[in-house]
Amino acid sequence: MTTMTDTASAVREFKMPDVGEGLTEAEILKWYVAEGDTVTDGQVVCEVETAKAAVELPIPFDGTVRELRFPEGTTVDVGQVIITVGVAGSAADAPEAAPPAPAAEPAPEPAEPAAPTGRQPVLVGYGVAESSTKRRARKPVPGQAEDPSAAAAAAAVQAELNGHAAPAPQVAAVPQVAAPAPAGARPLAKPPVRKLAKDLGVDLATVTPTGPDGVITREDVRAAVAPAPAQPAAEPVRPAPAPEPVAAATADGRETRVPVKGVRKATAQAMVHSAFTAPHVTEFVTVDVTRTMKLVEELKQDRAFEGLRVNPLLLVSKALLVAIRRNPDVNAAWDEANQEIVKKHYVNLGIAAATPRGLIVPNIKDAHAKTLPELAEALGELVTTAREGRTSPGAMQGGTVTITNVGVFGVDTGTPILNPGESAILAVGAIKPQPWVHKGKVKPRQVTTLALSFDHRLVDGELGSKVLADVAAVLEQPKRLMTWS
């Protein structure tokens, strides 16, 4: 985890955290601050790329940037110091500030700023800072010190109006009275709400809370989406440093060598491990999906899907979920260490997505429990987040089965490689008009080819064939979404 170090000169060190649950290194993509800049608790100071995703790192304390230890494009080991910050009014300075205080009430105030030194910093959307709750807990206490605080504030204002600089101690007291200010800089919200805000590109500092004790709710975040379209628009620019691995051309210019790192490196390693660990079997089926395409057009006009993305992938996803419900043994994992087959009673549906950084496979948690409109909303958020480079590491973990839509590239089909730890992956080919025998006559119909790869340790030929046949049957006759549910 990230750690902070106080030195005699009141300088704190911010170390590269483990942003990907067990990863050992990350590349610094972009610095958002420079030496000499002032930073506040919760402010994003840099963006780093791990082997799984790009992640923004917030600084966990206030101060002035002393040193950026590494330039952009550098790969840094977890635990190395990446930035140092000079902290004014640290715990070391607190004893000196206490004597001039008027009474015993300000004495606890120096202890208030000391709390952040003990808290663990958190990533954007991954938890609420401990110090925030402590600051809120002290709100009832100032009732006892209400008069001294009011007097100190009044004295400071009067001195400023009179042009006097004498009441310096009063100025020192003002930041102490305003101790909740840092809490304002780090709005109160639960981890799922922070993640929703991050995925939607909403700055929590701009959201008006309606929950108890000033806590931001999901509804507050969604209500703020409309006024803040500019933020997501700017975010896609941030992944631009991704191509920064320096491409070195040979002397004759006939070749270019690009360093393999980040997501592409992790994907290569995972695919090699999967291909040579799990025995792959791939089966194919060509199916008439004319009725499915008609249903897609009808759903686009349905008010229940207003504002949602409706496309063939939505119905393919639902068809696969129905097939898994009818053949639950396909949804499993192989535990090599314990020599066990782990049957999953939930489906985290992975969707392969091509991004500027390489192939990633985020998944929809508990996709089996979602209605069709909920599944459409989840797919839309997943695709948008992936394209903008904002997919979190957690969104790419825990998948059970995956869909890869190679048809968007005009490809008929393929033999997909399993995502590590999963039992099956379905490739969907291009949907296009082809001559097809329909009701005894050759007619042009919308046709596609499906390919299902599965781990033969978990899934035998019969089970794999049943799953693929069920997916095809639903897409051929989408009314089976109701009759088989």
**What would the pLDDT profile of 48-103 be if each residue is shown by its tens digit?**
887 667 788 888 888 999 999 999 888 888 889 999 999 865 443 343 444 444 44
Angstrom distances, CA of residue 248 to CA of 74, 244, 253: 16, 11, 9
In the chain, % of residues over pLDDT 70: 67
d(CA 482, CA 322): 10
136 neighbors 188 (Cβ within 8 angstroms): yes
Q: How many other CB atoms sit within 10 Å of the CB of residue 235?
A: 17
In the chain, % of residues over pLDDT 90: 39
Cα 298 to chain centroid distance, Å, stands at 33
d(CA 416, CA 281): 10
pLDDT score at 173: 40
Banded pLDDT at 372 (limits 50, 70, 90): very high
Catalytic residue (choose from 164, 273, 438, 456): 456
Angle (CA) 375-380-382 rounded to 5° is 95
Computed over every residue of the chain, the mean pLDDT equals 76
Candidates 198, 191, 199, 192; CA nearest to 385 is 199
pLDDT score at 17: 85
d(CA 423, CA 27): 31
Beta-bridge mates of residue 453: 282, 425
Burial class (CB in 10 A: 0-12, 13-18, 19+), 340: exposed
Q: How many other CB atoms sit within 10 Å of the CB of residue 99?
A: 9
More confident residue, 165 or 441: 441
Residues 103-118 have a mean pLDDT of: 44
Q: Tell me, what DSSP letter sits at residue 216?
A: B
pLDDT score at 247: 62
Of 109-113, 295-299, 339-343, which one has max mean pLDDT? 295-299
pLDDT score at 382: 92
DSSP H or E stretch at residue 264: helix 262-275
- 441-455 vs 363-364, strand pairing mode: unpaired
Residue 338 has pLDDT above 60, yes or no: yes
pLDDT score at 400: 95
pLDDT score at 174: 39
- Residue 246 token pair: 């320096």
Of 129-133, 269-273, 369-373, which one has max mean pLDDT? 369-373
pLDDT score at 225: 66
Q: Which segment of 162-176, 398-412, 445-459 scores lowest on mean pLDDT?
A: 162-176
Residues 305-324 have a mean pLDDT of: 95
Cα 101 to chain centroid distance, Å, stands at 45
d(CA 351, CA 419): 10
Residue 262 has pLDDT above 60, yes or no: yes
pLDDT score at 167: 44
Q: Tell me, what DSSP letter sits at residue 144?
A: T
- Sorted by where each starts, the structural domains of the chain and their CATH numbers stand as 1-144 (2.40.50.100), 189-259 (no CATH), 263-483 (3.30.559.10)
Angstrom distances, CA of residue 38 to CA of 181, 182, 184, 386: 16, 14, 17, 32
Banded pLDDT at 168 (limits 50, 70, 90): very low
Banded pLDDT at 442 (limits 50, 70, 90): very high
Is 456 designated active site? Answer: yes
Residue 349 has pLDDT above 60, yes or no: yes
DSSP H or E stretch at residue 334: strand 332-335
More confident residue, 290 or 50: 290
pLDDT score at 20: 59
Give this prediction's pTM: 0.55
pLDDT score at 282: 95
Banded pLDDT at 322 (limits 50, 70, 90): very high
**What would the pLDDT profile of 14-57 be if each residue is shown by its tens digit?**
998 876 556 678 888 889 999 999 998 888 899 888 766 778 88
d(CA 332, CA 345): 9
Q: Which segment of 10-14, 71-75, 187-191, 287-291 scores lowest on mean pLDDT?
A: 187-191
**What would the pLDDT profile of 264-281 be if each residue is shown by its tens digit?**
676 677 667 777 677 889
d(CA 333, CA 315): 25
